[in-house]
Structure 1
Amino acid sequence: MRFAPPNPLRIADRASGLNSLSVRSHNERLVLSLLLQSEATTRLEIGEKTGLSAQTISVIVRSLEQEGLVVRGEAQKGRVGPPTTPLMLNSEGAYSVGVSVGYRNTHIAVVDFIGNVQHQRVMPHKTADTFDAPEALAIEIHQAIAGLSESRQARVAGVGLALPTPPIRSGPDHDVLHRYLEAELRLPVFVQNDITAAAGGESLFGTARQLQDFLFFYLGARLHGRLVLNHQIYNGNSPLSYDVGVLALERALPAGDPSAARLWEQHPSWPPMGPALADWQQACAESLIKSTQALLQFIELKTVLLSSFVPPEICIALCKLVQQEIPFVNAVVGRTSVAPKAVGAASLPFSSRFMVN
């Protein structure tokens, strides 16, 4: 299968208020997986890629159309033979909530079936590296879902939790938080490591949608990496990260510098920071380059993908530095710049309930 997302810690399907989106057959998941990975696909292409018969495909497509998960595009003319009608996911067919517990903030994102962010909320932490407000989080999720119309609320497939490993310094145990939210929200909750979730979000919704193999980096408080081979995300044997992230830049700024607070907020650009920013960018780029070069000794890769909540211009500059040093590798910026880990978390219910694992 083109995209096999990482298995969440909890992956079993179960019926919720969304009865039509409960347990699906393998063939239905196969078709939905193809549609999730491409903007439009014809019945003929589905048959070529899956080996399913035309009759089976027609039955599945008809069922998915009736459920509102799939819609037809405009007929494609100008080819030999009769016009072909592409099939695509209905963006309003399902919704998901993603939650990412970070170093300074907890992000909540509601996304539609094709990854568009419908609502976003931010919960600042009282102090860095702490999270002690599961009750407030449940309220924020309820309010985020309430931002959808009543008919769309009925199509929420679940909640994804992107949590750091190891857990942040102060906060509830992952299993405790998972069980609490599931009981409070009355929705299935799926848990995954935050960096792995971000990589999965880019694979499902973002720049890596058509990539089979790539090296994924997430630039947050620290710099983290994941290897993706044949659409499988590999975590490695330890939660290794590099101290060249936003936290390192914050430490490098003079005490009381007002720019420090803006580092953790989503802005289109950062204010001038003088030599501190240039030195930090160089150190971050060196870590990206060294990690990539070390891996290339064993595996042939053509793409390095950098995802982050920092301004796109910063990520673009870092990718250019990597490209200059390793010209045969394509260094690209992730598409999901609005709360990437939360959007990745939102992909978990979709991958668990609709895709072939």
Structure 2
Amino acid sequence: MAKTKPYREHRPFYDILAMFKRTRRNDLGPTSRRGAGPESLRAHNERLILGMLHSAGALSAADLARRSGLSAQAVSVILRALSAERLILRGNPTRGRVGQPSVPISINPDGNYVLGSKIGRRSADLVLLGLDGKTRAHKRLPYAWPDPVVVLRWLEDTTVAFRATVPTVAGLGIALPSRLWDWAEEVPEGQIAMQAWRDIDLVATFGATGLPVMVVNDGAAACAAEMTFGTLPHGDEVLYVFVGTFIGGGLASRGSLVLGASGNAGSFGSVLVQGSDGVVQQLIDVASLIGLERALRAKGQTAEVLRLEPTQATLSNPLVDRWITQAAHGIAQAMISAVATTDSRLVIVDGAMPAEILDVLVARVAAFMPRYPLAGIDVPTIQRGTIGPLARAIGAASVVLNERFLAWPADIKGQAA
């Protein structure tokens, strides 16, 4: 395991991103090279075209030229290059009333693949995605606490196994809490292993695999998944909340993922909220699943109900109902503060829990928000996320997918370079 500078001193996300862009064409994928100047411009426009195809499903060359602002000749050149790399598929021509037949063009879902991993406080996930964003493979490693030796060995072995199933893999995204070791749990033997995460440089550790590696905050990654594969609108300011073992989130601004100087923008768990007892706490203390787990165990009940399809008995469990109410009040307060700062009109709430529990949580957040003082604030729409428990791992893969192949929504909305 590589140990270099501490994780808390990792290069900011944008520095890693710049390094990743310099290695976008690697020995695992197509051999065409990209350089500075015109070559970099072509790479940008290729991503723009692929991003449009991803969003629309299928477009003709004429549609692509019109939407991108590129000339028909430029689009033709780009499509030939993408076709040579097996990144696009051409459908059967359709003849209209006038002119040449129109050929629908779409992304080749098996043209390349990306990996995304979530390293959490209760489990680790690894997913393999095609260019269409569909999950080809998924493995999960549950644990009581994330021992880095065990987790990283599992991730390396599973990465090797997944890569053996497909011709090419373009990169690996890793999502995890920004300070994974800041976690006080009732398992004292886990504390030494938790602190070891301080000294692990994940980029260096997995760089030896030959894959470009990107590390991103897990809440931001989940937000990226909703941006890329969900229903998040690309023209607004959006607040995104993900309820996991510890609650987190992300920010989207007009089709761009907002990360902040340290990559932790949208870490709503640190927002101060007031409980029903009048005590002021951080949101992480009142709206995280670990609180419900502890409450269930204290009463001799299993927390596995959170990982299975719930029965009506689960939904009517007083402990579950009490936690949902407490969490909803906390999220409502935090989002009011966030809306006052960002002028967001939409809040998306997703989580690592059964859909039925999430539905109740989202409904209560929407119901509780108007109960608080709202002078000067427009009440935002509260909407359930569409990705679910795997949002963080899928989001880590989507960051690689967007940087390697697709344009981010903000780029698609803007003019072509």
Could you say which residue in structure 2 is the equivalent of 1:163?
Answer: 176
Could you say which residue in structure 2 is the equivalent of 1:9?
Answer: 16
The 1-side partners of 2:33 and 2:14 are apart by 18
SS where residue 319 of structure 1 aligns? helix
1:347 aligns with 2:398: yes
What are the Cα deviations for residues 211-264 of structure 1, in whole angstroms up to 9, with x where unaligned?
64311111101222322111222345764412211101112224363431343x
What are the Cα deviations for residues 272-301 of structure 1, in whole angstroms up to 9, with x where unaligned?
161111111111111222222223334443
Unaligned runs of 5+ in 2: 1-12, 35-41, 182-193, 270-282, 371-378, 409-417
Could you say which residue in structure 2 is the equivalent of 1:143?
Answer: 161
Could you say which residue in structure 2 is the equivalent of 1:44?
Answer: 62
The 2-side partners of 1:42 and 1:174 are apart by 50
Pair 1:77–1:321, CA change in 2 (3 A):
farther
Q: Aligned residue pairs: how many?
A: 343
Mapping of 1:232-271 within 5 angstroms?
232-235=256-259, 239-241=267-269, 242=283, 243=285, 244-255=287-298, 257-263=300-306, 265=307, 267-269=308-310
Alignment TM-score, normalising by the size of structure 1:
0.85
User: Residue 306 of structure 1: CA displacement?
Assistant: 1.6
Could you say which residue in structure 1 is the equivalent of 2:386?
Answer: 335
Could you say which residue in structure 1 is the equivalent of 2:238?
Answer: 214
Could you say which residue in structure 2 is the equivalent of 1:154?
Answer: 167
The 2-side partners of 1:128 and 1:79 are apart by 64
Pair 1:173–1:12, CA change in 2 (3 A):
farther
Range that drifts further, 336-345 or 247-256: 247-256
1:180 aligns with 2:205: yes
**Percent identity for Structure 1 against Structure 2:** 27
SS where residue 386 of structure 2 aligns? coil
Across the aligned residues of Structure 1 and Structure 2, the Cα RMSD in angstroms comes to: 2.8
Aligned equivalent of 2:354, options 311, 322, 327? 311
Could you say which residue in structure 1 is the equivalent of 2:10?
Answer: none
Q: Is the 8 A contact 1:103 1:130 kept in 2?
A: no
Alignment TM-score, normalising by the size of structure 2:
0.74
SS where residue 191 of structure 1 aligns? strand
SS where residue 331 of structure 1 aligns? strand
Could you say which residue in structure 2 is the equivalent of 1:132?
Answer: 149
The 1-side partners of 2:91 and 2:383 are apart by 30
User: Residue 103 of structure 1: CA displacement?
Assistant: 0.8
Q: Is the 8 A contact 2:220 2:251 kept in 1?
A: no
Range that drifts further, 306-315 or 6-15: 6-15
User: Residue 56 of structure 1: CA displacement?
Assistant: 0.6
1:34 aligns with 2:41: no
Which entry has the higher C-alpha Rg, 1 or 2? 2
Task: Give, as a single letter, the amino acid of the residue that structure 1 aligns with 2:230.
Answer: G
SS where residue 106 of structure 2 aligns? strand
The 2-side partners of 1:257 and 1:76 are apart by 64
SS where residue 118 of structure 2 aligns? strand
1:280 aligns with 2:287: no
Pair 1:74–1:315, CA change in 2 (3 A):
farther
Pair 1:249–1:68, CA change in 2 (3 A):
same
Range that drifts further, 345-354 or 227-236: 227-236
Range that drifts further, 280-289 or 325-334: 325-334
Could you say which residue in structure 2 is the equivalent of 1:54?
Answer: 72
The 1-side partners of 2:224 and 2:15 are apart by 11
The 1-side partners of 2:92 and 2:75 are apart by 19
